[in-house]
Amino acid sequence: MRTIIDIDAHFEPGADWLDPHPELAAKLPKLDPGLLAVNTIVGDLLRDVPDAQRPPIAALMPPGLLTLFGREKAAEAERRAEFEGKSQFQVANVKARLKWIDGQGIRIQNVICLSGFAYVLFVKDLALRQETLRACNSWLADTCAPSAGRLLPVTALDYEDLEWVIDELTRMRERGSRVFLIPAYPVNGIPPSHPTWDRVWSAATDLGMAPMLHTGFEHMRFDPGWANTGGDITLLRQIGGSHRHVAPMTLLYSLIYSGVFERHPQLTLLLAEVGVGWLPFLYREIDDRISPTAQLFVGPWKYPLKPSEYLARNVRGTPLSGGNDQPLPRIMEDLPEDMIVFSSDFPHFEGYTDPLGYYAGALKDVSPARLDRFFGGAIADVYARLGDPIV
């Protein structure tokens, strides 16, 4: 019988999740969904632009903000029909989620909560960011606990203090977490490929946990001149969203060429909601960086495996429904067998209310053996390789 493992799904705690933490709530800023959306879409573009030169916040807010946060009026229901059943901030209901994954045949689902991050984006104090993320991680673990190991909390972290990261990873592993979110950018000038991060990767492999790069954590700094679009806010949003593939590709280059995957052979990076349509290009291109000609410019290759072999062994990615990930069978054919894996992204817009139904059509010509690897076999092997099987 096929074991289906969902590496990326979501739910949130609702507005009252901070009620048990009144002192923490008093220290946090009031969350503005509009500012959160602006930060997510164009935050990188605007970070180096002086306030006086930025477009007004009201103009920067996306036109579908009410739909984005599920606050549309009843009269707008028809317009929103294609988003029925989808919400960026669906409030957690474990019984309902278990019923849904049972209907889909999903055995285990990794669940992400973004509410903690929504606050810490606007908090400068490190201790307060850590306290907020710890409280949110605890809420998620408590909420998932009644599922008896079927809903696994994904750990959210702040990487300014790596010792705190290791402590929180250890605590959350005891609470059932098997996945933790990482950034695709340097933190205080130190990228995840730097040797100082080796203690994080060692902790992850010792604990049987996998890092995940999820959309929203792939920030890439841009020349502030790109923010000068002559007043075309739509163009600004388009440019802001274009980093989705650039940043994960940069992260993979840095992890491979710095030897992270050589030093930590069991480490497996999961890619979620950053697409996979670009992976065949990377897989074909990456070994050219160690050709004799390339080494004249970038220096000798120091590791026993080829870059493409580290990519195949240490990276797994889940597709989106968008055009850049189509046709999915062709993308899978162009990559090693285990690189493309399943997620629902339920209940977000980019995800599926019926993922098994969608993939039944999209992958109808894929062999049963390859489907078994896609739906769960490849991820199950990741955890077996870590010495702590997931099923």
pLDDT at 252: 93
pLDDT digits (tens, 9 = 90+) for 146-203: 999 999 999 999 999 999 999 999 999 999 999 999 998 889 989 999 999 999 999 9
Segments forming the whole domain that contains residue 187: 5-385
Tokens encoding 303: 């590791």
pLDDT at 322: 77
pLDDT at 297: 87
Which of 26-40, 81-95, 301-315, 324-338 has the weakest average pLDDT?
81-95
**Region 67-75: what's the mean pLDDT?**
54
Contact assessment for residue 317 and residue 271, using Cβ atoms and an 8 Å cutoff: yes
Residue 70, SS3 per DSSP: coil
H/E stretch holding 27 reads helix 22-27
Residue 30 to residue 141: CA distance in whole angstroms:
24
**Region 297-308: what's the mean pLDDT?**
92
Contacts of residue 202, Cβ cutoff 8 Å, sequence gap at least 6: 264
Phi, psi at 272, each rounded to 5° = -130, 130
Asked if residue 143 has pLDDT above 80, the reply is: yes
Closest C-alpha among 107, 150, 110, 104 to residue 360: 104
Strands 210-214 and 269-272: parallel
Residue 68 to residue 77: CA distance in whole angstroms:
13
Q: How large is the C-alpha radius of gyration of the chain?
A: 21
Tokens 């806010």 identify what position? 233
Closest C-alpha among 31, 84, 88, 90 to residue 65: 88
First-to-last alpha carbon distance for the chain, in angstroms, is 13
pLDDT, greater one: 199 or 86: 199
Under DSSP, the state recorded for 28 is S
pLDDT at 334: 97
pLDDT at 83: 46
Tokens encoding 158: 């702040």
Contacts of residue 1, Cβ cutoff 8 Å, sequence gap at least 6: none
Asked if residue 61 has pLDDT above 60, the reply is: yes
pLDDT, greater one: 349 or 141: 141
- CATH number for position 67: 3.20.20.140
Residue 145 to residue 139: CA distance in whole angstroms:
10
390 in any annotated domain: no
pLDDT, greater one: 383 or 62: 383
256 in any annotated domain: yes
Contacts of residue 70, Cβ cutoff 8 Å, sequence gap at least 6: 87, 88, 89, 90
pLDDT digits (tens, 9 = 90+) for 204-252: 999 999 999 998 777 766 656 656 666 776 766 666 666 667 788 889 9
pLDDT digits (tens, 9 = 90+) for 28-51: 988 777 777 777 777 777 777 888
356 in any annotated domain: yes
Number of domains in the chain: 1
Q: Quote the mean pLDDT of the chain.
A: 87
**Region 98-106: what's the mean pLDDT?**
96
391 in any annotated domain: no
pLDDT digits (tens, 9 = 90+) for 283-302: 999 999 889 998 888 888 99
What are the E-state strand segments in the chain?
5-10, 108-112, 151-155, 179-181, 210-214, 269-272, 315-317
**Region 357-380: what's the mean pLDDT?**
96
pLDDT at 102: 97
pLDDT category of residue 74 using cuts at 50, 70 and 90: very low
pLDDT at 236: 62
305 in any annotated domain: yes
Share of the chain above pLDDT 90, in %: 62
pLDDT at 222: 60
Asked if residue 140 has pLDDT above 70, the reply is: yes
Return the axis-axis angle of helices 126-144 and 162-174, rounded to nearest 10°: 10
Asked if residue 261 has pLDDT above 50, the reply is: yes
206 in any annotated domain: yes
Residue 288 to residue 245: CA distance in whole angstroms:
20
Asked if residue 70 has pLDDT above 80, the reply is: no
Tokens 């390859």 identify what position? 370
